C-alpha cells in the first residue's frame, strides 16, 4: 500500500473512497513529475529543433498536473466546482501531451514513457470526473 | 514598463497583443504569490480555527494561479483549448478564494489584500477568456 | 521498474548511475507530494491550533522537495554546485519537517506517514550528496 | 506600495522589517516568473540548439526561485537554517542563470531581461542572507 493511500485513509475528513482519490492524485503526480524529466530528455537530443512542441506541451503538462494533484489531494472544505474545472484542464493537458509524445515514441523511449503516463493520467482525471473507479 | 511586458514583446512568436497577455500573466502571478503569504498570515492568527476554510482556499488558489500564469506565459506552440480550460479553472479558484477572504476582510487586513488580488485576477482571467483588454 | 527509472535510463545524457538518481528524485517527489496532503490533514483536525508549526513545516517541505526533485531530474548540462546547494536545503527541510511530524505521530497517523517520507527523503538527499547509493 | 508589502506588514508575526522581506520575496518571484517565460522564448528561437543550456538553467532558476519565495514569505514559525540554505541555493541558481543569459543578451532581448532579473534576485538573496537592506 502506497503512503498516499494510508495518509488519505487517515484524513480527519474520512472521505468515502480514499483509495480512488489516492489513485487519481498519484496519476497526476506521476505524470507531472515525468513530464519535467521528459522535457529535459528532449532538450538534450541532438535533433532538439524537432522536439520544440513536445518540450512545450510537457512543461504545460507538468504544471497543470501538479496543480491538479495538489487541489485534489486537499480534502478539507473542498470546492467541487474548482475540482471539476481543474480536472477538466488536466485531462486536456494530458491528452495534448500524450498525442504529441506519441508522435516521437517510436524514435525516443523517453517520449514513449511520458506518453504512457499522460494517457494514464488523462484516464484517471476522467474517472474522478465521472465518479467511477 | 514591467520586465514581463518587455520579455513577451520580444518573444520570437511576436504575439499580436503582448501587453494584454502580460497583464493577465502578472495578475495570475500576483494572486498566486499573495495567496501563499496570506494563507501563512491566517495560520499565525490566534483564532486559526475560524480560518481553516480561508487557508485551504488560498492554498488552492496559489497552485491554480501559478499553473495558469506559467501556461499562459508560454507563447510557443500554444494549445488554445488548454489555455481556455486553465483560465476557467483559475477564474473559479479566484472567485472562491475572494468570496472566502472577503468574509474576514473587515477583521484581518491580510485577508482584504488577498481578496483584492483574487478579484483582480478573476477579472484578468475573464478578460483573457473573452479576448478583451 | 518505475517509469522514472526507465525514463532516466533512456535520457540522451546517459548518466552513469540512472537508478540512483531516480531513487533520489522519487524520494523527493514522494515527500513533496505527501507534505501537501499531510498539511491539509492537519488543517482539518479539531485541534488545529496545536498543529500550526506542523502545517508550516510541511508546506515548506513540499515546496523545497518539489524544486529539488525537478532540478535533480534534469540531466542536461547540470550545475553540480546548484544541485549540491539544493540537496542541502532539501535535507534540512526534511529534517525539520520529520522532527515536527514525529511529535504528533503517536496521535495522528497522517503525521506518522509524513514523518516516514521525510526521513526517507532526508536520507536520499544525503546519499546523493555523498554519491553513495 | 505593493500588495505584498501591505500583506507582510499586517502579518500577525509583526516582523521587524517587513519591507526588506517583501523586497526579497518580490525579487525571487519576479525572477522565477520571468525565467519561465524566458525559457519559452528561447525555445521558440530558430537557433534553439544554441540555447539548450540557457533553457535548462532558466527552468532550474524558476523552480528554485519559486520555492525560495514561498519559504521566505512564510513568517509563521520560521526555520532560520532552512531559510539560509534555500537562499544560498537561490543565489547560486540566479548566478548561474544570469551568467548563461548574459552570453546571449546581445543577440536576444529576452535573454537580457532575464539576466537582469537574475542579477537583481541574486543580490536580493545575498541581502537577506546578510541581513542588510
Q: Does D45 touch chain B (CB under 8 A)?
A: yes
Q: Does D45 touch chain C (CB under 8 A)?
A: no
According to DSSP, residue A76 is labeled S
pLDDT digit string, tens, across residues C10-47: 999 998 899 999 999 999 999 999 999 999 999 999 99
Q: Does B92 touch chain A (CB under 8 A)?
A: yes
Top residue of C82, C93, C126 to mutate, by most chain D CBs within 10 Å, is C82
pLDDT digit string, tens, across residues B101-132: 999 999 999 999 999 999 999 999 999 999 85
pLDDT digit string, tens, across residues B18-46: 999 999 999 999 999 999 999 999 999 99
Supply the pTM of this predicted model.
Answer: 0.97
Contacts of D102 (CB under 8 A, 6+ apart): D111, D115
Please report all neighbours of B, defined by 3+ CB atom pairs within 8 A.
A, C, D
Going by pLDDT thresholds of 50, 70 and 90, the confidence category of residue D132 is low
Is D28 strand, coil or helix?
Answer: helix
Number of neighbouring beta carbons within 10 Å of residue B101 = 28
Composition of chain A by helix, strand, coil, percent to 5: 80, 0, 20
Q: Let me know: does A94 contact A65? Beta carbons within 8 Å.
A: yes
Domains in chain B, ordered, with CATH?
A: 17-131 (1.20.1270)
Residue of D nearest to C60 (CA): D71
SS (H, E, C) B53-90: HHHHHHHHHHHHHHHHHHHHHCCCCCCHHHHHHHHHHH
For residue C60, the Cα-to-chain-centroid distance in whole angstroms is: 11
Nearest by CB to D49, which of A40, A48, A55?
A48
Length of chain B: 133
- % of chain D with per-residue pLDDT over 70: 98
Top residue of D31, D80, D86 to mutate, by most chain C CBs within 10 Å, is D86
D contact residues 47-76, partner B, Cβ 8 Å cutoff: 66, 69-70, 73-76
Q: For D25-42, b where at least 16 C-beta lie within 10 A, e where not — what string?
A: bbbbbbbbbbbbbbbbbb
C114 contacts in A (CB within 8 Å)?
Answer: 7
Nearest by CB to B48, which of C44, C49, C59?
C49
User: What CA–CA distance (Å, rounded) separates A32 from A41?
Assistant: 15
Short-list C27, C22, C21, C40, CA closest to C129:
C21
Report ipTM for this prediction. 0.96
Nearest by CB to B48, which of C40, C52, C59?
C52
According to DSSP, residue C65 is labeled H
According to DSSP, residue C131 is labeled T
A7-15: average pLDDT: 94
Number of neighbouring beta carbons within 10 Å of residue A46 = 8
Q: Let me know: does D13 contact D75? Beta carbons within 8 Å.
A: yes
For residue A64, the Cα-to-chain-centroid distance in whole angstroms is: 8
According to DSSP, residue D55 is labeled H
Nearest by CB to C56, which of D67, D76, D96?
D76
What's the mean per-residue pLDDT of chain A? 96
User: What CA–CA distance (Å, rounded) separates D23 from C111?
Assistant: 34
Q: Given an 8 Å threshold on Cβ–Cβ distance, is B49 in contact with C49?
A: yes
Q: Does C99 touch chain A (CB under 8 A)?
A: no
Q: Across chain A, which distance is largest between two alpha carbons, in Å?
A: 51
Number of neighbouring beta carbons within 10 Å of residue A131 = 8
User: What CA–CA distance (Å, rounded) separates B83 from D16?
Assistant: 41
Nearest by CB to C64, which of D59, D67, D93?
D67
User: What CA–CA distance (Å, rounded) separates D95 from D107?
Assistant: 20
Angle in degrees, CA C3, C8, C13, rounded to 5:
160
Q: Given an 8 Å threshold on Cβ–Cβ distance, is A70 in contact with C12?
A: no
Residue A133 has pLDDT above 60, yes or no: no
User: What CA–CA distance (Å, rounded) separates B56 from D1?
Assistant: 27
Class of residue A32 by CB neighbours under 10 A (exposed 0-12, middle 13-18, buried 19+): buried
Q: What is the pLDDT of residue D131?
A: 80
B7-16: average pLDDT: 94
Q: Let me know: does A42 contact A58? Beta carbons within 8 Å.
A: yes
pLDDT digit string, tens, across residues A77-130: 999 999 999 999 999 999 999 999 999 999 999 999 999 999 999 999 999 999
C77 contacts in D (CB within 8 Å)?
Answer: 52-53, 56-57
Going by pLDDT thresholds of 50, 70 and 90, the confidence category of residue A16 is confident
Q: Does B99 touch chain C (CB under 8 A)?
A: no
Top residue of A32, A40, A42, A54 to mutate, by most chain C CBs within 10 Å, is A40
Q: Let me know: does B76 contact B70? Beta carbons within 8 Å.
A: no
Q: State how far the alpha carbon of B131 is from the alpha carbons of A11, B16, B125, B127, C133, in Å.
A: 42, 12, 10, 6, 53
Q: State how far the alpha carbon of B9 is from the alpha carbons of A14, B87, B102, B106, in Å.
A: 50, 21, 36, 40
Amino acid at each position: 500500500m502506497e503512503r498516499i493511500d494510508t495518509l488519505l485513509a487517515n484524513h480527519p475528513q474520512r472521505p468515502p473512497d480514499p483509495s480512488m482519490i489516492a489513485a487519481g492524485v498519484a496519476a497526476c503526480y506521476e505524470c507531472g513529475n515525468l513530464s519535467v524529466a521528459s522535457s529535459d530528455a528532449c532538450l538534450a537530443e541532438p535533433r532538439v529543433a524537432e522536439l520544440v512542441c513536445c518540450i512545450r506541451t510537457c512543461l504545460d503538462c507538468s504544471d497543470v498536473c501538479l496543480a491538479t494533484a495538489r487541489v485534489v489531494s486537499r480534502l478539507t472544505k473542498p470546492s467541487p466546482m474548482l475540482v471539476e474545472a481543474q480536472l477538466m484542464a488536466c485531462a486536456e493537458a494530458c491528452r495534448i501531451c500524450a498525442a504529441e509524445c506519441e508522435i516521437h515514441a517510436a524514435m525516443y523511449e523517453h517520449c514513449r514513457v511520458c506518453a504512457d503516463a499522460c494517457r494514464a493520467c488523462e484516464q484517471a482525471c476522467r474517472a474522478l470526473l465521472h465518479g467511477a473507479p
